[in-house]
């Protein structure tokens, strides 16, 4: 295990910021922490980097204890590299000297590593350039090269693309992901942007109020969220009222929804009221006379698809993403049915 946080807690004065937070990354894995502003993402990174002390629990980096209640390995001895939104390159140094800055060793070894990592980051031709001569994307690649040059045991990325425009971000994400994999680095990214986390990470954690609700693959976070918070935070979707009509069937106002496996658990007995997750891709258009009646409230064009906000006859708001060749007008009366591959239910509270 290259990074392990076991029940880490952190207080500012008497205020708990992290509450028994746990996560693990295997060597060579990339993880991402996503969550709303103020959830504690930056505090987690600061605790791992050694910029903040922990109040309880343990942090191990590369199998070595880095933080515990009565123990704090200094930041400079943790072997952690960092990349931030503001690449903060030294303006008066060349690209090569920026990258060499944190390297210890002989001049020849330093030169060799700088050449190697600049080639890996597709910046070999810019070794002599100054930061101001580079585009934003190139500056970020140099910042990544600088963070990776000393072969850190762990690379921490704190919202590194927050200031990057959307068009550049897509290609930069791909490149950064490729470089991290090529260098066999273990990395942890903090972001509020789900698309970014999904593009880069093998494993993502949704963090809320200082705890990780679910540490899992992006696929499972989307299709098999383990709590209502993750279900609402990840992707689009709504939780609609339902009742467990059978072990593998939910009765809803849109009709019965059949699950592939039994949904009943000790918390969810047959007959109990539930909240069922309905993603926009769980709704299909039906012929008139089939399905249930709905009205288009809003639409948002996404290119190949259109995201519709619909109101059912009972007034429930649901979302549907449909191919944009069906160009339904706002106000149109349509018929829809649920077609749910992953049925996710939570107990109804209250």
Q: Where does this chain bind ligand ADP (CB under 6 A)?
A: 12, 17, 35, 37-43
Assign 162 to helix, strand or coil: coil
Of 100 and 213, which CB lies nearer to ligand ADP in the complex structure? 213
Could you give the CA distance from residue 65 to residue 81 in angstroms, rounded to a whole number?
A: 17
Of 38 and 271, which CB lies nearer to ligand ADP in the complex structure? 38
Any idea which residue has 């999904």 for tokens? 198
Query: Could you tell me the smallest distance in angstroms from the CB atom of residue 179 to ligand ADP?
Result: 24
Could you give the CA distance from residue 127 to residue 124 in angstroms, rounded to a whole number?
A: 6
Query: Could you tell me the smallest distance in angstroms from the CB atom of residue 158 to ligand ADP?
Result: 8
Query: Could you tell me the smallest distance in angstroms from the CB atom of residue 59 to ligand ADP?
Result: 15
70 neighbors 18 (Cβ within 8 angstroms): no
Query: Could you tell me the smallest distance in angstroms from the CB atom of residue 10 to ligand ADP?
Result: 9
Query: Could you tell me the smallest distance in angstroms from the CB atom of residue 43 to ligand ADP?
Result: 3
279 neighbors 236 (Cβ within 8 angstroms): yes
Could you give the CA distance from residue 113 to residue 318 in angstroms, rounded to a whole number?
A: 54
Of 138 and 211, which CB lies nearer to ligand ADP in the complex structure? 211
Of 2 and 43, which CB lies nearer to ligand ADP in the complex structure? 43
Q: String of b and e for 226-251 (b: at least 16 CB within 10 Å)?
A: bebbbbebbbebbbbebbbeeeebbb
Of 17 and 321, which CB lies nearer to ligand ADP in the complex structure? 17
Query: Could you tell me the smallest distance in angstroms from the CB atom of residue 191 to ligand ADP?
Result: 10
Could you give the CA distance from residue 291 to residue 313 in angstroms, rounded to a whole number?
A: 12
Of 215 and 346, which CB lies nearer to ligand ADP in the complex structure? 215
Query: Could you tell me the smallest distance in angstroms from the CB atom of residue 65 to ligand ADP?
Result: 23
Of 43 and 87, which CB lies nearer to ligand ADP in the complex structure? 43
Of 205 and 225, which CB lies nearer to ligand ADP in the complex structure? 205
Q: How far is CA 339 from CA 119, 218, 240, in A?
A: 49, 21, 14
Count the alpha carbons within 13 Å of 20 in the hemisphere toward its beta carbon: 1
Residue ranges of alpha helices (H) inside the chain are 41-49, 95-100, 107-120, 136-148, 166-182, 194-200, 218-223, 228-233
Burial of 220 (0-12, 13-18, 19+ CB in 10 A): middle
Query: Could you tell me the smallest distance in angstroms from the CB atom of residue 19 to ligand ADP?
Result: 11
């Amino acid at each position: 295990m290259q990074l392990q946080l076991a029940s880490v807690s952190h207080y500012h004065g008497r205020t708990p910021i992290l509450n028994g937070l746990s996560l693990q990354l295997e060597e060579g894995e990339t993880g991402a922490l996503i969550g709303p502003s103020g959830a504690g993402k930056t505090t987690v990174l600061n605790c791992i980097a050694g910029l903040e002390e922990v109040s309880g629990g343990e942090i191990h980096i590369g199998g070595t204890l880095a933080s515990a209640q009565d123990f704090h390995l200094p930041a400079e001895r943790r072997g952690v590299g960092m990349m931030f939104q503001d690449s903060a390159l030294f303006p008066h140094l060349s690209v090569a000297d920026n990258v060499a800055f944190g390297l210890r060793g002989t001049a020849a070894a330093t030169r060799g590593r700088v050449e190697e990592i600049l080639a890996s980051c597709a910046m070999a031709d810019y070794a002599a350039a100054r930061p101001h001569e580079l585009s934003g994307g190139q500056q970020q690649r140099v910042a990544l090269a600088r963070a990776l040059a000393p072969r850190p045991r762990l690379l921490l990325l704190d919202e590194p693309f927050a200031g990057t425009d959307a068009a550049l971000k897509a290609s930069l994400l791909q490149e950064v992901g490729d470089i991290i994999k090529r260098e066999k680095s273990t990395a942890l990214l903090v972001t509020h942007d789900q698309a970014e986390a999904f593009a880069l990470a093998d494993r993502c954690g949704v963090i809320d109020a200082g705890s990780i609700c679910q540490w899992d693959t992006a696929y499972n976070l989307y299709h098999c969220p383990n709590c209502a918070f993750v279900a609402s935070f990840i992707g689009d979707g709504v939780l609609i009222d339902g009742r467990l009509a059978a072990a593998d069937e939910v009765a809803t106002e849109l009709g019965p929804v059949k699950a592939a496996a039994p949904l009943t658990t000790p918390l969810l007995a047959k007959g109990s009221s539930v909240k069922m997750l309905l993603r926009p891709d769980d709704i299909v258009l039906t012929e008139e006379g089939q399905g249930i009646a709905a009205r288009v409230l809003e639409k948002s064009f996404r290119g190949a698809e259109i995201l519709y906000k619909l109101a059912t006859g009972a007034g429930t708001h649901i979302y549907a993403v449909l191919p944009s060749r069906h160009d339904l007008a706002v106000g149109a009366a349509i018929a829809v049915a649920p077609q749910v591959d992953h049925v996710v239910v939570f107990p109804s509270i209250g």
